[in-house]
Amino acid sequence: MRDTEAPEVSIVSPVYGCRDCLSQLVKSVTDTMDASGLSWELVLVDDCGPDHPWSLICQFAEEDARVRGVKLSRNHGQHLAIWAGLEVCRGEWTAVIDCDLQDDPEMLPALFEEAKESKVHALLVDRGDWSDSWIRRAASTQFYRLVKVLAGIEIKNVGNFGIYSRHMVDTLLKFREQEVFLPMMVALTGLPSRRSRIDRSARAAGESSYSPLRLLRLAAAIVVRFSDRPLKLSALVGFAFSTLAALISVYLLFGYLLGAFTVAGWTSVVLSLWFLSGLILVTLGIHGLYLGRVFAEVRRRPRLSVMYTTFDREGGKEAIPKGSDVSVDYD
């Protein structure tokens, strides 16, 4: 059961490599939300970044109880860090924003009002024009195209920035996958949503951890987690080549019977063997990725490991001491 003193709004921000702008983030959220008249909380999730932001998060929490900190035991990645925040947020509406201030906190009150008036469970922010390099923008564009083609779900130019209802958050938390991707899973809920365009601001600190290669790996991981299209594609390719092989076999048989072939060629045989062997290995690799996904799921390991929090855990239990070695696993 959620806290009876739950705020109207929760703001979740995964923290990695942005220690230098955390003070600016907290101040911007505080000034904006106080001016809006809405009750709020800010959940900062330390994803074990290289700049060690936990001490600073604890300081913010001591100065303002509305700031709540969660420290993961190791680096889990951005999306699982978001999930850790969703696990503990209490608001009737929840916003997810990046810690580097590319998602402007000053836009939150207007987005909350738009979400309420629209009667949707998710208001997704189209990121509009970016201030990142053209290489980064081009890589993201290709990332969205690849996901659409292979996974069949369009999440064009939508990231994690958005407003989510309590019902949406509770529905998302019912997903039991070991690995998560927020925009895709919001789409999979089937709950009503809409988009609102806001151009991204310049990054206040740090740099993107998503290189073109990492975006490619992420796209492949998303496709394997949320779609079976590659399996179907491999079956279709196999069927097509089998059909082609059958037609060629008929042609070769008639040619042999008619005496058209007097010298057996080895080039075509060698090339065919190499090509088909490569195709078989690629197909086996695709199936192996899915088997690996099944293996990861059936192990049923906790997908999150929380080391510390700055607040009392739900249910009246004591807070985890900031200097203790206690860890808590959220399944």
At 302-328, the pLDDT tens digits run: 888 899 899 875 543 334 444 333 344
On the question of pLDDT at 267 being above 60, the answer is: no
User: Tokens representing 94?
Assistant: 């929840």
| Residue of 12 and 145 predicted with greater confidence | 12
| Sequential DSSP letters for 154-222 | --TTEEEEEEEEHHHHHHHTT---SS--HHHHHHHH---EEEEE-PPPPPSSS--S--HHHHHHHHHHH
Chain center to CA of 29: 23
Amino acid at 295: F
Q: What is the pLDDT of residues 194-234, one digit of tens each?
A: 888 887 665 555 555 556 676 667 667 777 776 777 777 77
pLDDT of residue 122: 93
What are the φ/ψ torsions at residue 151 (nearest 5 degrees)? -105, -20
Name the nearest CA neighbour of 45 among 307, 319, 321, 313.
Answer: 307
pLDDT of residue 126: 82
Distance CA 166, CA 173 (A): 11
Contact status, residue 75 vs residue 54, Cβ threshold 8 Å: no
Candidates 3.40.50.720, 2.40.160.20, 3.90.550.10, 3.90.440.10; correct CATH number of 9-134+156-209+302-330? 3.90.550.10
What are the φ/ψ torsions at residue 286 (nearest 5 degrees)? -60, -45
